[in-house]
Amino acid sequence: MTSAPAGPTTAASDTPTAGLLSDVYDDLGVRLHDGGGTLRVWSEHATELELVVFDDDDPDWIVDTVPLTAVGGGVWEATTPALRVGVTYSVRVDGPHGPGMTFNPATLLIDPYARGLSSPGIHSWRSVVVDECFDWGDVRTPATPLDRTVVYEAHVRGLTKRHPGVPAALHGTYAGVAHPAMIEHYRSLGVTAIELLPIHAFASEPRLLQLGLTNYWGYNSVGFFAPHAAYATATAQAEGPTSVLRELKGMVKLLHAAGIEVILDVVFNHTSEQGLGEPRSSFRGLDNRSYYRQAQDGTYIDVTGCGNSLDTSTDAAARLVLDSLRYWANDVQIDGFRFDLAPVLGRDRAHTFTPEHPLLQAIIEDPALEGVKMIAEPWDVGMGGWQTGGFGPGWSEWNDRYRDRVRNFWLSDIDYSRRADITPVGIGGFATRLAGSANTFSSERGPLASVNFVTAHDGFTLHDLVSYDSKRNDANGEHGRDGADTNRSFNHGFEGPTDDEGVLAARRRAMRNLLGTLLLSAGVPMLTAGDETGRTQNGNNNAYCHDSALTWYDWSLQPWQEDLRAHVEVLTRIRRENPALRPVRFAHAEKTVPGASVIDWYDEGGHTMSVEQWTDPSHRTLQYDARSTPENEAANRTLLVVHGRESDLDITLPSLEGITRFVPLWSSVDERPQSDAVPLSPGDGFTATGPSMYLFRAE
């Protein structure tokens, strides 16, 4: 049977997004109705498609086959009473041979729109029809404003695997993430959104399995609609995909009831099918030529480093991504998405990134995604793949320039100064990042386009960042070739574990300086789970393949870890209470901008910073005066003193119009946050013991 020629209808054919929004792509996947269900699958080049239905108890026993009919636009369709809740099914596809064509009518493939998946064996997958009904009650999404958002990046399994207050049956599960003990943790810590590493169904690469390892992080998607079943409780897994989905929705509901948003790390840039010749499960068998980027001879153009790259220059592939986002945002009530290797999604037919790509525009403009937070990881490994600051309005981005500058200032610069008795650069670049990275993001996008982070799942933990000069990745099975070699870290005089109290004290202060910078900077802060307590991975900066105590959150805390956590609690509260620290817009030199923070900079003597001081490598101290421009909150003003040297320095507080006192709010010098500091007056002095930070509210 031959597919009818493509002829999609559009409501607005003159718009860039018209192709992917065509109604020809509506209702793909399974739709249940009286008397069974209808399956719709897209394959532009196929000549024949067949639905395969399996026995309820034996996933390898085929009990029915139903041919699909071409209905136009590359869509194939079949209606049958065999499609019902709980049924396991696959599709088989035949088509022409030639460059880029990899059809095999014997291969059992999953439905790309399947809401449930099961795996009867390694590299073997089945689609499952699920019951999508769920009672959300009167719980609504928190809709936390972006300026009030504090993101907490975490792993479903690792976060709760060892928590003593979470029942053992819930360890490492969706239900465990929303247990009351965990909700208390998020709320007391002051985070407003938990960003989960991938929970789309994923698989471990054959290479890792052969080494006895696993793809722990989950950046190897099998399907974009089904949740990863292994993160559900044993009971839900035994009951099947409907129960897995219900447990996930229950997690979201409980977190929302507690005021915590849920952001998903989504991997649309590649799939677990990897390179040609690797395990196939879906796209390669459905229509390899249309779903994956490739040259005319069929060779893959891989801009991900993972074997293949989804080709979102085709409307069907772009629509698949958009439909997945719509499903998770509306049916599962997800509040936001972090897009792994996001430039891949914005590459055109010539494989060149453009922020005007129809998919990137559709994601921001779609009414079904209104209010959903969109965060890009703005780089991939292809030509022109580094795009920090290059996305359009409506997008926030992981700011690697922020990460690198902050690490340099507090770590590698100080390491350099110990060796050479001079620092390589001054404080100007650091100040720019502190104030919202206006040199990276346009005034139209503002400071909230910057998702600030010092660490993430990928790289050293905060503890290891201040404890190791070099990575320790031998356990990954790649002979130390994996993971970044340049970490901008500093071991403070000894590599790895030590009993030297001087080294340990310096490391603790460095962690406080890094956390203080993160949570007091303009932009959206992202804290990596475990950094609030100084979690270590023993120097492994690429622990993606370890599902073990190495990567699980250790909840047995020493006193210094309790102190560090107390600092984070204070800092998130201070951020919440002081809008001057979290401007919505950049200020303008010639007009008042509501929601902005007007900034003035002073030196250690309380005088306006000079051009020479900004560019002098030896000048590493400033006073950052930020006053809010009221829009929705009361007027507010803060003064942050930053001292980036290990030597002590006398500070004189500036004289500011209308300010009679400076109320101490926080200092990185204290091992544990203090609340009894005495207010100071303009012109008063104190000694900054470096490297350090001091925050005041100006009244």
- How much of the chain is in helix, strand and coil states, percent to nearest 5? 25, 20, 50
148 exposure class (CB count in 10 Å sphere: 0-12, 13-18, 19+): middle
Can you read off the two tokens belonging to residue 367?
């009414």
Identify the three-state secondary structure at position 650: strand
β-pairing verdict for 637-643 and 692-698: antiparallel
Identify the three-state secondary structure at position 204: coil
Are the C-beta atoms of residues 639 and 681 closer than 8 Å to each other? no
Alpha-carbon torsion 141, 146, 148, 154, what sign?
positive
DSSP 279-315: ---SHHHHHHHHHB-B-TTS-B--SSSSS--B-TTSH
Can you read off the two tokens belonging to residue 376?
């890009």
Identify the three-state secondary structure at position 529: coil
- 148 contact partners, CB below 8 Å, separation of at least 6: 192, 576, 582
Are the C-beta atoms of residues 485 and 472 closer than 8 Å to each other? no
Outline where 366-461 has alpha helix (H).
Answer: 400-407, 413-420, 428-434
β-pairing verdict for 336-339 and 373-376: parallel
Q: How far apart are CA 236 and CA 243, in angstroms?
A: 5
CA–CA distance from 541 to each of 267, 464, 487, 512 (Å)? 21, 8, 9, 20
Helices and strands, counts by H and E, the chain? 16, 24
Q: How far apart are CA 404 and CA 397, in angstroms?
A: 15
Identify the three-state secondary structure at position 520: helix
Catalytic residue IDs = 340, 377
